[in-house]
Amino acid sequence: MSGTVTRVYKDELERFVFDVFQAVGLNEEHSTLVAKHLVLANLRGIDSHGVSRVDIYTKRLDLGVTAKTTEGKVVKESAASMLVDGGNGLGIILATRGMEIAVKKAKEAGIAVVGIKNSSHCGMLADYTMYAAKHDCIALATTNAPSSMAPWGGRVGYFGTNPFSYGVPAGEEQDIVFDMATSVVARGRITLARKNNQQIPLGWAITKDGHPTTDPVAAADGLVLPVGGPKGYGLAFLMEVLSGLLTRAAFGPYIASLYKDLDRNQNVGQFFFVMRADLFEEIKEFKNRMDQMIREIRHIPLAEGFEKIYLPGEIELERTVERQTNGIPLSIHILNELEAVGRRYGLPFPFK
């Protein structure tokens, strides 16, 4: 990060974010859930989906385009599936409940699918697949997003960054949790770079005229690029089908922008596929075999220039340990933004 960085401890940051959402009008349970989710993203190093979102979430809540009461309504249900209308609620709350329902149904039926429509930005998908893995389930989570990426070969945006995450339980080893955007980088990282007055690497995005750029402002007005070219485009397409079309949410260019469209619901969709990890063998045996694979991969001889083979999600786990010990680094720009949010609700700012 450029400029001054302040280390803030997890519990203090959670408490401040909790107080903010209480002041906005969320109940205690939901305020706790949102605060824990956003701070967890910062702990894992996914700063683009952490407390830098507090300002825009609260603005949309104050304007009434995001509902302060988020319950969700069941539209259609079977023993192994459920479609929920989120009623324009906070995506983090809806997605948390959606994954809880999917895990419960998978425990009973073996496999479960839960879709959500009329939702909003749901933060870091890894939080939801981590929950499934902790409950001895294998999970896939997807969401779509406002249009910011052209289909491969095009120069006009259609798809969003359309991330997906998976979680797999292990035994003595750490659960495997993978989370990625189908673009080269999550658009939130460009937003964070703009807030922090940082340049972005070439290859992340292009300007609205189609030129490569390192300027986050020009990138924000332009398009992000799919990871792996046509392969990322293919993945983004599937995430759109699962999150948007299957759930009857908005899709592609019909999803409202989180930051620009402050007069209408985003109508984002989320999709969760969950299965019990003991569908075909005892859970203990499955976890033993997972541990075996993890250990074998870890001990594969290293290629030149590498110091370690990381398992999916292991870098984020290392960051979590470091930041729990030393505090979460926040730039002066994010601290100023949080202070302004607190001032809006008459809250004292504990970080200087």
Q: pLDDT digits over 141-165, tens only?
A: 999 999 999 898 888 899 999 999 9
Distance CA 88, CA 277 (A): 33
Distance CA 91, CA 44 (A): 19
pLDDT tens digits for 270-286? 999 999 999 999 999 99
The average pLDDT across 19-23 equals 98
37, 121, 135, 333: which is the annotated catalytic residue? Answer: 121
The average pLDDT across 289-305 equals 97
Judge whether 333 counts as a catalytic residue: no
Of 328, 282, 290, nearest to 311 (Cα)?
290
Q: Is the torsion defined by CA of 307, 311, 312, 318 positive or negative?
A: negative
Distance CA 22, CA 202 (A): 40
Residue 248 has pLDDT above 50, yes or no: yes
Specify whether the CB–CB gap between 277 and 153 falls below 8 A.
no
Label residue 92 exposed, middle or buried (CB < 10 Å: 0-12, 13-18, 19+). Answer: buried
Question: For residue 203, what pLDDT is reported?
Answer: 82
Residue 2 has pLDDT above 80, yes or no: no
* Consecutive H or E run containing 122: none
Distance CA 147, CA 157 (A): 6
Q: The whole model's pTM is what?
A: 0.93
Question: For residue 3, what pLDDT is reported?
Answer: 53
Q: Which residues contact 225 (CB under 8 A, 6 or more apart)?
A: 149, 183, 184, 203, 204, 205, 206, 232
